[in-house]
Amino acid sequence: MEKNKIVEIFIPGPAGRLEAKYFKSKKKTSPIALVLHPHPQYGGTMNNKIVVETFRKFMDNDFSVCRVNFRGVGKSDGEFDNGQGELADAAAALDWLEKENFDNSQCWISGFSFGSLIAMQLLMRRPEINRFISISPQPNVYDFSFLSPCPTSGLMVYGKNDELVPTETINELDKRLSLQKGIKVDFQQVNEANHFFSKSEETLCVILDKYIKKETTLF
């Protein structure tokens, strides 16, 4: 595979092949990251702007990184499966990424909106995941109580003006996770941002970059 170039790939998934974009770092034992997209029934794809920006931040920090279209999205086979199938797709994509980078130094998962729910569910099932980034989680829509205990430290970024998620539901999640010993979930609010970070992408990118740099130096 050509290095230092984003390539289109197809990953074998439980419902057929999954369309994905992949960047392989030149660095030996580079960390790996999987980035998951928003809700397929509301236009979410791996080419969503925030997903692409997150993918690029991992690239900039020498990760081997993959973003994937869930079943039924783009050229991926299958059809929407209310989260269960999408979780199986994410697991298959992580399997593929780990095989390609068996000597990885760290394993990260990231998701935006619906993708953050799937990312957190995958985190609970895969002990090798060291860190996570959850962008615009929706604890008012999805029950995040499965994150108890949350197995690893991570970052949750949300907009103060999120029109889909009341801030108090984020604060409740923050309070619950802050009681856990041994991990730190860093909640960061972006003042001008809405759910989709329209016109706040740059601020988000700075937060992501800073967090990735800080947490990769720890390993």
pLDDT in tens, 126-165: 999 999 999 999 999 999 999 988 999 999 999 999 999 9
**Two tokens, residue 93:** 């994509």
Distance (Å) of CA 204 to CA 52, 140, 193: 12, 22, 9
Three-state DSSP state, 157: strand
Q: What is the pLDDT of residue 3?
A: 52
Does position 1 have pLDDT exceeding 80, yes or no?
no
Average of per-residue pLDDT across 83-110: 98
**Two tokens, residue 31:** 């960390």
Three-state DSSP state, 195: coil
Q: pTM of the predicted model, to two decimals? A: 0.97
* Percent of the chain whose pLDDT exceeds 70: 98
Q: What is the pLDDT of residue 134?
A: 98
Place of tokens 């999120």: 162
Three-state DSSP state, 179: coil
Residue spans per domain, the chain = 6-216
219 — pLDDT class (breaks 50, 70, 90): low
Separation of alpha carbons 199 and 218, rounded Å: 32
Does position 2 have pLDDT exceeding 70, yes or no?
no
Q: Are residues 149 and 180 in contact, defined by beta-carbon separation less than 8 angstroms?
A: yes
Q: Report which of 96, 129, 111, 118 is spatially closest to residue 13, judged by C-alpha positions.
A: 96
pLDDT in tens, 176-210: 999 999 999 999 999 999 999 999 999 999 999 99
Q: What is the pLDDT of residue 148?
A: 82
* Percent of the chain whose pLDDT exceeds 90: 95
4 — pLDDT class (breaks 50, 70, 90): low
Q: What is the pLDDT of residue 218?
A: 74
What does the buried/exposed string (b/e) look like for 179-196 if buried means 16 or more CB atoms within 10 Å of the residue's CB?
eeeeeebbbebbeebbbb
Q: What is the pLDDT of residue 103?
A: 96
Q: What is the pLDDT of residue 217?
A: 82
Average of per-residue pLDDT across 90-108: 98
Average per-residue pLDDT in the chain? 96
Running DSSP on this structure, what letter comes out for residue 212? H
Average of per-residue pLDDT across 18-27: 97
- Where would I find the H helices in 61-163? 84-100, 114-125
Running DSSP on this structure, what letter comes out for residue 65? E
Separation of alpha carbons 15 and 187, rounded Å: 35
Residue 77, amino acid: D
Task: Give CATH for domain 6-216.
Answer: 3.40.50.1820
Distance (Å) of CA 127 to CA 42, 48, 121, 123, 130: 31, 28, 12, 7, 8
